[in-house]
Structure 1
């Protein structure tokens, strides 16, 4: 089962959800805002991929950080900030088995779907 993490009003999340639905893929959606951050494996993502790949440095939330916060960013700081402001996380996050992907690209979703059905 695929778990898709994000925020329901995010355009990229909407595209990913539409793609999954159009391709008949069952998934569970976890909305950072509505469902909370308690069960989100944020610490694991940061440990495996590093804050540079987990946080969206083009987001409005990133731009709202102070220069000091940005310059001193590390996994521990990212964990605290993303738990408080989940819009810092690159969206959507897709988990399927032991695969985790950040963002949405149709080709990657197709590859993920192929792996999940083999």
Structure 2
């Protein structure tokens, strides 16, 4: 399992703690510190489309209209914290966020 998030994100910390308690051994990738490969970003965008962009984030609100109009892949490369978190890859499947649907799928 690979877990893409931020160490400072409360939701990511809750998700990681719950996954570890359920016996998952997650390889944690901090999107700010470790970065996300272009290949992974492309796969995430293919899977989630524009839902991958966190339009409620402080980073998004600080962008100009010109920047917001950029291609999402370019935006995410420039501002990795714009990615909605966490993105979890488990057994070849991708999950976005830590909503009830994701918790149910991974924790049962």
TM-score, scaled to structure 1: 0.79
> Per-residue displacement from partner, 1:29-85 (whole Å, max 9, x unpaired)?
1111222223760011112321x2111010001111112333x35xxx111111121
Q: 1:48 to 1:108 in 2, by over 3 A?
A: closer
Larger radius of gyration: 1
Partners of 2:18 and 2:35 in 1: CA distance: 24
The structural deviation recorded for 1:103 is 0.8
Question: Which residue number in structure 2 is paired with residue 91 of structure 1?
Answer: 85
Unaligned runs of 5+ in 2: none
Q: Which residue of 1 aligns with 2:98?
A: 104
TM-score by length of 2: 0.86
Q: Which residue of 2 aligns with 1:57?
A: 55
> When the two structures are aligned, how many residues end up with a matched partner?
108
Q: Root-mean-square deviation (CA), in Å?
A: 1.9
Structure 1: gaps (5+ residues): none
